[in-house]
Amino acid sequence: MSRLIAVTAAIAAFALPATAIAADTNEWQSAKTLENDDVVLIASGTEQEHGVFFNCADGNLTAGLTTVPGDILEMMAQETSRSKSHDIAMTIGDSEPFKAGWTYFPSLKVAIAHKELTAKKLYNAAIKGETVTWKMPARPEISVTMPEANEAFKAFANDCPVTNPNKQS
């Protein structure tokens, strides 16, 4: 039950005006800031690249990705109540494959990691510029290339208490 609450909270983070991050190049965009200008949500994705998001809320890091190329914020702006939990086979860079729990929203084509540890692994992959391969049962393997760290990514890294322990929440 707590996993459903966490996923619902992550979805609620996207209850923003439908402002697409439409960019011709895949780069990190600040998608949500607090009143004090702290960046709490960054996202990427283009029509050719899979979208990825990192959300820092209530002292937790959450991550998600699209199973098809596209703007993850546009995809998450739609409402859905249907979801499926899957153990997904993943490989990050040259590391050994591992399985991680994800909640997949079929109508959105978006998946959200169940555990913060998975989000942290994806975050580290983004820092290192590593490619993530992701294989859902009965679906083709996808390869996600994280954009390079830019000002939006650095602001998020600085403003999130999970990625910057010196930051007070």
CATH number of the domain to which 32 belongs: 2.60.40
Give the number of domains in the chain. Answer: 1
Domain that holds residue 87: 2-159
Residue 143 placed within a domain: yes
Q: What is the pLDDT of residue 169?
A: 56
Residue 166 lies in a domain: no
Asked if pLDDT for residue 1 goes beyond 90, the answer is no
- Residue 41 to residue 68: CA distance in whole angstroms: 20
Q: Is residue 169 part of a domain?
A: no
Could you tell me the two tokens for 151? Answer: 């000002």
- The whole model's pTM is what? 0.83
Is 167 within the bounds of a domain? no
Average pLDDT over residues 11-36: 64
Assign 83 a pLDDT band (cuts: 50, 70, 90). Answer: very high
97, amino acid identity: P
Rounded Cα gap, residues 7 and 84, in angstroms: 11
Cα 137–Cα 116–Cα 108 angle in degrees, nearest 5:
45
164 assigned to some structural domain: no
More confident residue, 157 or 19: 157
- Beta-carbon count within 10 A of 45 CB: 29
pLDDT given for residue 167 in this prediction: 81
Strand partners, 33: 39
Choice between 75 and 117, residue whose per-residue pLDDT is larger: 117
Asked if residue 168 belongs to a domain, the reply is no
Please indicate, yes or no, if residue 133 is contained in any of the structural domains: yes
Domain contains 42: yes
